[in-house]
Structure 1
């Protein structure tokens, strides 16, 4: 009798941000809008790089200092990341996972974030501030895809653990965490309203 086991799983953590902290989602959304409107350097970078909408990634590195709501956000994220690291059975030794980057993304109608990874980090993630009806899910790619060579595609009925791409549709207030090597993207936002998220990286040591 044949036995089939699953090897090398790819973990994805999903929880309500409020499970491990109290965050005022309305205040967080307002703060994101205020920062986007005031951040001229960020606006200039987005325009120069043809980046759809707005991101603070290339312009602001001190969001928790600027707005107390981001300091509260980091306190909650630290707890979620610690829980995910435990689930991943990381051997951290005497070093901790620490926040490396925290940035705002505002994606307008028609905007996309192309497929990418987050080098030099251990855990990456996003918390969802505004997810209007019809907006994009986040798309994760099987990390083995480039090595599948002559393998056929998967049936639509294949279980999620065997799909080559998995789409996850979070709700406002959710936080998703994954290992930073996992390739992901945000397909085109088809909603008229803006999709607002706060993304982050945690490094080791």
Structure 2
């Protein structure tokens, strides 16, 4: 009897930020993101210079947990989530830990997109979601084998997620998504009139 065995799994971790302490007030986190964006002139200028839609603190504020206590609480919770995901991945970390490398705010307005990219210098990347309007865009993940599939037929519309070339994950406010940093992903155009707000981050090893 024949048997098909899945190989080389691409894992995606999904949980609620509140599953690990300390508790983070969602309204306070959202208000902090908007307040920081309003005051961050360097970040605003970077977005303007680089035609970046909306706002990101990626190129301007590298010390959010030090500046704002609510982000210190977010990081404490994320540390626990990342440790759990690393265990799921069977990582042999030796005597080194996965540590936060970067954390930044994203505010995506109507019509804004984050084009396809990956995070090559990190081990685990992820996002926690602060504001997700009902009709805003999901995050799209790309099968890392796709460039090698030049002659392959397409997949059926009802193919399971594990066999799709692209998978859309629609998170809710308070969710945390984690993935290995080599996984290519993007945020399609925000079709909502309201802003889509998230906090993204990278963890490195050692």
Distance between the aligned counterparts of 2:179 and 2:71, measured in 1? 21
SS of 2:177 mapped into structure 1: strand
- The question of 1:24 aligning with 2:20 is answered no
1:200 alignment counterpart: 201
2:68 alignment counterpart: 67
1:50 alignment counterpart: 51
- The question of 1:96 aligning with 2:109 is answered no
User: In the TM superposition, what are the counterparts of 1:1-205 in structure 2 within 5 Å?
Assistant: 1-21=1-21, 22-205=23-206
Distance between the aligned counterparts of 2:156 and 2:79, measured in 1? 38
CA RMSD of aligned residues (A): 0.4
- Aligned structure 1 segments of 4 or more residues deviating by more than 2 angstroms: none
| Cα shift readout 1:40-75 (whole Å, capped 9, x = no counterpart) | 000000000000000000000010111110000000
TM-score when scaled to structure 1?
0.99
TM-score when scaled to structure 2?
0.99
How much has 1:95 moved relative to structure 2? 0.4
SS of 1:36 mapped into structure 2: helix
SS of 1:127 mapped into structure 2: strand
SS of 2:172 mapped into structure 1: coil
Distance between the aligned counterparts of 1:161 and 1:68, measured in 2? 39
Unpaired runs of 5+ residues, structure 1, are: none
| Cα shift readout 1:3-27 (whole Å, capped 9, x = no counterpart) | 1100000000000000002111101
How much has 1:167 moved relative to structure 2? 0.2
How much has 1:157 moved relative to structure 2? 1.2
Distance between the aligned counterparts of 1:187 and 1:120, measured in 2? 24
Distance between the aligned counterparts of 2:81 and 2:2, measured in 1? 39
SS of 1:35 mapped into structure 2: helix
Distance between the aligned counterparts of 1:137 and 1:193, measured in 2? 14
| Cα shift readout 1:145-165 (whole Å, capped 9, x = no counterpart) | 001110011010111110000
Distance between the aligned counterparts of 1:16 and 1:174, measured in 2? 4
